[in-house]
Amino acid sequence: MAEKKMIRVTLRRSPHGRIADHKKCVAGLGLRRMHQTVEVEDTPQNRGMINKVSYMLETKEV
């Protein structure tokens, strides 16, 4: 079975004062604090959330 592709996502800008949907996307990716880094699976759903709040994130494919 093939290994799952992962994306490393880091929160670089604060979600404070942003649109509610953008805050939910950040939380949905598992990010809670500034400069926190998480690895999420490369799925269309996660890609959509990353694209929506890309101005707050730094991403790197692992």
Using CA of residue 30, residue 24, residue 10, residue 16, what is the dihedral sign?
A: negative
Cβ atoms 35, 18 nearer than 8 A: no
Let me know if residue 1 belongs to a domain.
no
Let me know if residue 27 belongs to a domain.
yes
What rounded mean pLDDT belongs to the chain?
96
Q: What is the pTM of this model?
A: 0.90
Note down the domain range covering 53: 6-61
Let me know if residue 11 belongs to a domain.
yes
Let me know if residue 20 belongs to a domain.
yes
Residue 21's CATH number: 3.30.1390.20
As a whole number, mean pLDDT of residues 24-49 equals 97
Question: What integer pLDDT is reported at residue 1 of this predicted model?
Answer: 65
Question: Based on the structure, what is the number of domains in the chain?
Answer: 1
Q: What is the pLDDT of residues 1-30, one digit of tens each?
A: 678 999 999 999 999 999 999 999 999 999
Cβ atoms 11, 36 nearer than 8 A: yes
